[in-house]
Each structure stands twice: as C-alpha cells, then as structure tokens.
Amino acid sequence: MTARLAAALLLAPCSLLAQLELYVVQGGAESRVIDNYSIGAVAIGDSVDTAFRLRNPGTSAVELDTLSAAGAGFSLVNAPHLPVSVSAGAPLDFTVRFQPVAAGGHSAYLQVNGGSVLLLATGLAPPAVLLDNVALAPGSAVDFGSIQSGSSASRTLVLKNQNTDPVLVSQLAVGGTGFRGPIGISAPLTLASQQSVEFDVVWEPQAAGAAEGLLTVNHATYRLLGTATEPPLPKPQIVIEPQAPSSGQQVRLSIRLAEPSPASGSGELRMEFVGPSDPGAGFLAPPGLSATFTVQRGEDMARFGASTEITFQTGTTAGTIIFTALLGAHTDQASLQLAAMPVMIDSASAVRGTGSLEVTVNGFDNSRTAGPLVFTFLDRSDQVLVPIRVDGAAAFAQHFQTANAGGLFALRAVFPVTGNASVVDSVDVELVNAVGTVRRNVKMTE
C-alpha cells in the first residue's frame, strides 16, 4: 500500500491548475493546496467532510467542466452542476467526504478540469471490544447467562485501539431494560495506539424472562443477552383467625410467607369441605372454593386483591375444611374441624293470629340430626299452659336431603287454637339433635 501511494505521488501532476486555484477552507481561513492534501485519520464507520474552494485568479471567466474525487471512500458533497462558469476572482465551494472502507491508507485524485490533486487519508480500525481477551465481532453477543431476577451479573469488557494512530471513541453507551453501564469509562475518550481500557456492564433483571440490551461503541453495536429466572418463592403458611371456628361463622384467612418474598408471583388457595355438601362453606370474594393470591417482592404476606386476608364462611354442616395453599414449589395445608353441635337458633318469632299461633324458627343444625321438638306455651306468669311434642326427625331428614342448603332450616309451625289465645304470653321452643338440646323462649306478638 505504501509503495502504491508513493507511485501515486510521483505520478501526480505537480501543478494542478493553470486557470483555477484550489484551497482548503478551515475555520473560514483558506490554505492553498498545490499537489496533495492529507485529510487525516478517520475511524471506520465515521466520516469527515473537508471544505474546498476553487478560485479563478485570472481576469476572465473559466469554465469548470470536470470535478471529481476518484478513490475508494472519497465522494463529493454538494458539487456544482457542471459545466459551470467561474468568474474572475469568484470562489466556487464544494466538499469532499471521506468515509474509510477499510483500515489503512486511502487516496483519491481530486480532478479539476485537466489537473488533479492527490487526496490522502487513513482509515482507522474501530476500537476492538474484547471479552475474556477475545475480540468480539460487531453484532455479536455478550452473554450474561441465566440468573435470578433481583440479582445481578456483570461483564468486564476491554476497549482496545489496534491502530497505529489514536482513535476517538465518540459514542459508548449501554441500553436495554436492566442493563447498566459503561462503568469505569465514559465517552468521548481517545485511545492511543495499542491502548486498552476496561469497563463493566451490569445486568440487573427485575423480572423473569429473556432480556436483550445493546452496547454501542461508535458505530458498532454488540448484543447483550441474558435470561432471568424467578427466584424460588418462600413457603406459605396459612393463618386462620379465629383459630378454631365453629359452623355458622365468617372467618378471616391470611397467608404468611416464611420470609419476605424475593420475587413477585402468584399462588392458589383451595378450600375443600370434607363432609356432606354445603353450599354455604366457601370464600366470599371471589365466591367459591378457590382463590388466587399474589405475593409482591419484599412482602411477607400474600394478597387477595388489595387485601392481605380473605374471608370465608364455615357453612352449617359439621365436617372438616381443608385449605391448601400452593405457591411455587411449596404447599401448605391447614384443616379445621367443625364439630357437631346442638341446633343453633338464629332468630325466632311467635305471632298470635286469629285462631292460631304461629311460631317461626330460623337456624341450622350442623349435625343434620334434629328430630324431637317441644313447643311449651306459657302464660304471663311463666306457668306452663300446654307442651306440645312433635317428632320432626323425618321432616328434618327430608329437608336436609333435598334443600341443598347445608344444615340451614326455617321452621314454621302453626297451632290452631280455640278459646282465648291472648293468655299465651310466650313459647319455649326446644329442639333436640344428636348432640344436645337447645331451648329458646319467644314472646308472642300480635
């Protein structure tokens, strides 16, 4: 290449132009160009524009019919339309752009009518990016491997100027979600010949999945690749408040985590009722027997929507409720024993009508074994007027079998009477099931 340049120099015309003079314009100042002009060193991928000016030193106009820059990497910018007449003393400006196509020397003849000037320039190899002492080709990838979201990985890279001339690093940037850098150096910086500098790029993924970033060094780019995995979610623990509820209650349930969660995620809470079917046993919001919960990074309580607890009904049937919380690879179970208990009366009323007394009892029998009923009518002195015994076993059994309402029941009993029913002041209602007896005194109303 050097020999070729030398030959080109020898063959170049010593005097360019008989009629036109060539100048290079820098900062507004003109410098005469006689035989050749060196544009300097330019990194591959970059370009440099050099402003030239033709002047006609004569006393009459000169026609310019040839203007070209023939050589790899050289081109004319804003060249005049030819032919063009250059008046005496008048300037004619144009620009030569050099954009090296390879490392090393470049040359071109700047042809002006019958004469020419040799343009010289050097293409500089871009700074090399080395990873583990291996140069990366532009477009290749820097692999950060697979790490857990919330953690970080870094790569130490080296920028090296492999030219014999200094090279300018005008752009050095890291982009992409979770990628950070360069750490240790910043652009612009000039690397002397064979100089190298280290810098780090850090990846801190905040969510699981594949990630891609970009390292830009001047005009070259390098892909930054990594895969983030979810860190293992902590073990859930089901917490029930109150701890030992009974049938017919609304109970709060929360899920405590063994430690603040290192990642966000979601899990499922299932509720299973072991016993006779009871539509009343279930979560309230969302309704049903399963609910999704979420865990947020840094929190030690699961969330049901915005709340840290979910409410469920125990239903009105004795049995066992089993809760299962599934979170990541973990499972936690908790069970509630709902013991059979005497009939629970929720509300009762007694109405004195014309020729009849009507007694209504709302409640539940979680054992579903209710049978004997006793209605004891009392006067104002709480003296027993008459007890009436009824065997309701068959009716209750039929009701619990067909109503699909757990152990709920609404009992309405009507007692025809003759005589002065106003002497009846109240009624003791007694219900018996396999567990025990419950009695409630109910005042008569009109």
Partner 1 sequence: MRMRTIAILLFLAGAAAGQLGVPRIGCFVDDQRRLRPLSGVAANFLVGAPEAEEAISAACSCGLVLIKKDGSLEVRDRGGSVEWPAPAGPALFGFSPNGSAALVYYPETKELFRVGRNAPALLPPPEGEVVAVGSPEGPTAVVRLNGELWIIGADVRPAPPDAAEPLLLLPDGGLLYARGKELVLAGTDGSERSFKLPAAAAGMDWLGHGWVRVRLLEASGHLALALENRNELYRLPEVAP
Residues that bind partner 1 (CB under 8 A): 247-250, 279-280, 282, 284-288, 306-307, 311, 313-316, 344, 346-347, 362-364, 377, 379, 383, 385-386, 388, 390, 392, 395-396, 398-399, 403, 405-406, 408-421, 423-424
Closest contact distance (angstroms) between CB of 292 and partner 1 is 14
Kindly state the smallest distance separating residue 355's Cβ from partner 1, in Å.
9
Residue closer to partner 1, measured from CB, 137 or 285: 285
Q: Which is nearer to partner 1, 61 or 403 (CB)?
A: 403
Using DSSP, state whether 17 is helix, strand or coil.
Answer: coil
Q: Which is nearer to partner 1, 149 or 369 (CB)?
A: 369
Instruction: Give the other-Cβ count within 10 Å of 339's Cβ.
Output: 12
Least distance from partner 1 to the Cβ atom of residue 326, Å: 22
| CA pair distance 409, 396, nearest whole angstrom | 8
Q: What is the residue whose two structure tokens read 């019919």?
A: 65
| Comparison of 139 and 416: residue with beta carbon closer to partner 1 | 416
Q: How far is the CB of 171 from partner 1 (least distance, A)?
A: 49
Cα 324 from chain centroid (whole Å): 28
* Distances in whole angstroms, Cα of residue 299 to Cα of each of 204, 291, 296, 332: 20, 19, 6, 18
| φ, ψ of residue 376 in degrees (nearest 5) | -110, 115
Give 158 or 405: the residue with its C-beta nearer to partner 1. Answer: 405
* Least distance in angstroms from the C-beta of 357 to partner 1: 8
Q: Are 246 and 269 in contact (CB under 8 A)?
A: no
Residue 64 or 310: the one with the smaller Cβ distance to partner 1 is 310
Query: Closer to partner 1 at the Cβ: 66 or 398?
Result: 398
Q: Which is nearer to partner 1, 102 or 285 (CB)?
A: 285
The nearest distance, CB 347 to partner 1, in angstroms, is 7
Least Cα distance to 368 among 402, 336, 335, 337 occurs for: 402
Q: Which residue reads 């409720």 in tokens? A: 321
Evaluate whether 265 touches 229 at the Cβ level (below 8 Å): no
The least CB distance from residue 253 to partner 1, in Å, is 12
Rounded-to-integer distance, Cα 75 and Cα 98, Å: 7
Q: Would strands 153-160 and 128-131 be described as parallel, antiparallel, or unpaired?
A: antiparallel
Q: Which residues does 86 contact at the CB level (< 8 Å), separation at least 6?
A: 20, 54, 55, 56, 61, 62, 63, 64, 92
CB of 351 to partner 1, least distance (A): 10
CA distances, 182 to each of 138, 159, 179 (Å): 17, 11, 9
Nearer to partner 1, 206 or 337 (CB): 337
DSSP 231: P
Question: Both tokens of residue 95?
Answer: 């620009």
Structure tokens at 344: 């629970």
Answer yes or no: are the C-beta atoms of 337 and 358 closer than 8 Å: no
Rounded to a whole number of angstroms, the minimum distance from the CB of residue 308 to partner 1 is 12
